[in-house]
Structure 1
Amino acid sequence: MKKRIIIGISGATGLQYGIRALELLKEQDVETHLVVSKASELVRTYETDMKHEELMSMADVIYPTADVGAAIASGSFKTLGMLIAPCSVKTMSEIASGITSSLLSRAADVVLKERRRLVLLFRETPLHLGHLRSMTQVTEMGGIIMPPVPAFYLRPQSVDEIVTHTVARALDLFGFDIDVPRWNHDHKAQLP
């Protein structure tokens, strides 16, 4: 059976993380299943020149967010798990509460109940206590909260390098080996 992963894109800023995940996964032997929130469509117009059709063409299978009967809404549909990049407060809060109003949060809920990997590139700052409690709940349920924090020890030269490294680290959590610079104990000595 071909390996599958679900990519969710919510309405937080940082659509580039989801786009880069789809690009990097094209190079892997994996089938990508994409669900995009309504709010992310608005963010797409603010943050990129990419057309809706271009984004959709990057995935092997796409689902409308209202299709709660889709394959990814069932635990019997086997996947490696789900990466939500970026993940908004609304999406994370729905997942934390178990109240799923769309296929995006339903698919994440299914991933958790099946004890599969769920990684949320949570895009919000600063945080209030409600955010922290939701992050704790998702973590206690088995999810991984991964704010997209840049690794400046790599001395990135572009935003693209920062995005690529962050997404590669997120995909590490699913067992993918993406070729990006990595920290090693000699790295500090190599810097001028």
Structure 2
Amino acid sequence: MKFLICLLLIITWYNNLVQGQSCADTLNNLKAFQVNFIYSGQNTSNPFNNYVERDDYFFQSGTLIVDRVNNNMYVNYQFDTDYSFESWLYTQNNTYYILTNYRSNGCIYRFTPNVTPITNYTDAGVAMVGSIKSQILSFETPNEFDAAGLLYVDPNDCSPIFQNGKTQFGNSLVTFTNFTPLEPSMDYFDLPDACAHAHLIV
């Protein structure tokens, strides 16, 4: 569940704006996008140990597709290069499917809390990120996960550069590449045959 929480912090961006406009409004009106990410965190819970608090290092990388019009999310990713996952989140019925090579080597699903995308970005200044004068946007998650952080974006197209944040599990850093705005579509969220008889977990 921790990977879901971390990934929900990433839900942002849309690059259809006028040069020089604040990216906060653009991100708050996001419809759909695809982006690659690398997530790392320290002093966080171990996702494979029932979220027992421990001083740990957490790493994942993958691709995220979010459709905020139809309220769906797809992610493929790896944990520490040992375990691979594909996941589909359908917020209209609060179901979350995971196809993995970890333990079960199959497809499982669970019911999730009511998750609301981040739509409360506010301007928090500017900063140089390498040679890019980036806009800084602050945010808090509008749900029970109690997370907050800063998102650094390229002001030319509002594409994300990186994000730092703090959740109930610890601190995190996410870097982004290959941001692509998309038209909302259900085509990205078809479950594979392997999930036709997924096992419910609680």
- Normalised TM-score (structure 2): 0.30
- Normalised TM-score (structure 1): 0.31
Q: Report the structure, 1 or 2, having the larger helix content.
A: 1
